[in-house]
Amino acid sequence: MLSGRLGVLTDEVSDRYEEALDWAAEMGLSHVEVRVVDGRNVAELSDERALEIGRQAEARGLFISAVASPLFKCALDPSRTVASGDTFGQKEESADAHHKKLARVIELAKLLGTHRIRIFSFWREEYPQLHTGEIVGHLRKAARVASQEGVLLLLENEPSCNGGVAEEVAALVRSVGSPALLALWDPGNEAYAGREAYPSGYASVKGLVGHVHLKDAYVGHDGKGRCVPLGAGTVKVIAQLRTLAADGYKGLYTIETHYIPEDGSRMTGTRITLEALKALVKEV
């Protein structure tokens, strides 16, 4: 079912890019997404380094499926109080700076041999619905550029952003109305936000999904989200995978576990998650 379609974010395995590639190849994965390479955010790579990391993946029988960029993880208006989240080494910049960075990330994507670029919907406002027009305007502008350049933008449901859950991401994608912008569906992020990932969350993004990240999570008694191996949280993994297949989803899946076991490493956590996924897929 996932044969030839399953990959991993390299820095979920190791900070050392080649070590992550070796692991992915050993595990029989087909592709990798790049977010941080040897401690450096992917958006900051040079042309030469981008070509090199593409060759390193290819030499191991892998392909680079997407640029997991931090684009539009920024404040719409720095004078307003907003949420924030992990930027994976990127400094806080203006929305205009992110639009300029989009052009560079598109160049890097082409050098890496992919047309997929993950983006976000700006740091979450206190009342996101009051700023929908502004958010859609920025995303529409980005989608026009993406369309001209022949790349696909993937808007992820990220609790720290205005498109925090599936319902919000779906509304933004529909409002933009461009084939160059689809949803990056992360059921684990939905669960982390305390929402039902499946069937409710998926029902919102059905027909809009261009890429899928795989993680699991639950909200503890303290109200805080926790990431866990697939099948150990509240995401109905088997039912979600079955429905994606039944609905004709032909895209890729990327493990982004965010799970580190006690006294363990990211590699150990990702290995546990992959093993759990393989066991679950046998039931699909």
Domain containing residue 21: CATH number: 3.20.20.150
Say what the pLDDT of residue 283 is: 67
Reduced to 3 DSSP states, what percent helix, strand and coil does the chain have, rounded to the nearest 5? 40, 20, 40
Say what the pLDDT of residue 79 is: 93
- Are 45 and 108 spatial neighbours (Cβ–Cβ below 8 Å)? yes
Say what the pLDDT of residue 153 is: 99
pLDDT tens readout for residues 10-57: 999 999 999 999 999 999 999 999 999 999 999 999 999 999 999 999
How far apart are the C-alpha atoms of 251 and 179, rounded to whole Å? 15
Tell me which residue range forms the domain holding 144: 6-281
Res 83 pLDDT > 60? yes
Q: Tell me the mean pLDDT in the region 93-105.
A: 97
Say if 144 falls within a structural domain. Answer: yes
Q: Tell me the mean pLDDT in the region 96-121.
A: 98
How far apart are the C-alpha atoms of 154 and 178, rounded to whole Å? 12
Between the CA of residue 138 and those of 33, 181, 252, 255, what are the distances in Å? 25, 12, 27, 29
Say what the pLDDT of residue 75 is: 96
Handedness of CA 217, 89, 94, 78 (dihedral sign): positive
DSSP per-residue string spanning 88-150: TTPPP--HHHHHHHHHHHHHHHHHHT--EEEE---BPBSSGGGGHHHHHHHHHHHHHHHHHHT
Say if 126 falls within a structural domain. Answer: yes
Say if 18 falls within a structural domain. Answer: yes
Say what the pLDDT of residue 1 is: 74
Res 284 pLDDT > 60? no
pLDDT tens readout for residues 224-243: 999 999 999 999 999 999 99
pLDDT-based confidence at 102, cuts 50/70/90?
very high
Q: Tell me the mean pLDDT in the region 199-217.
A: 98
Percent of the chain with pLDDT over 90: 94
Q: Please state, rounded to an integer, the average pLDDT across all residues of the chain.
A: 96
Bridge partners (DSSP) listed for residue 182: 154
What is the number of domains present in the chain? 1
Say if 102 falls within a structural domain. Answer: yes
Q: Tell me the mean pLDDT in the region 64-84.
A: 96
Res 256 pLDDT > 60? yes
Say if 1 falls within a structural domain. Answer: no
Say if 252 falls within a structural domain. Answer: yes
Between the CA of residue 20 and those of 70, 102, 277, what are the distances in Å? 20, 26, 19
Say if 135 falls within a structural domain. Answer: yes
Phi-psi region of 224 (alpha: psi -120 to 50; beta: other; left: phi over 0): beta
3-state secondary structure of 151: coil
How far apart are the C-alpha atoms of 28 and 7, rounded to whole Å? 9
Neighbouring residues of 218: CB distance < 8 A, sequence distance ≥ 6? 191, 225, 226, 228, 233, 234
Say what the pLDDT of residue 145 is: 98
Closest listed residue to residue 209, CA positions, set 234, 245, 236, 162:
245
pLDDT-based confidence at 138, cuts 50/70/90?
very high
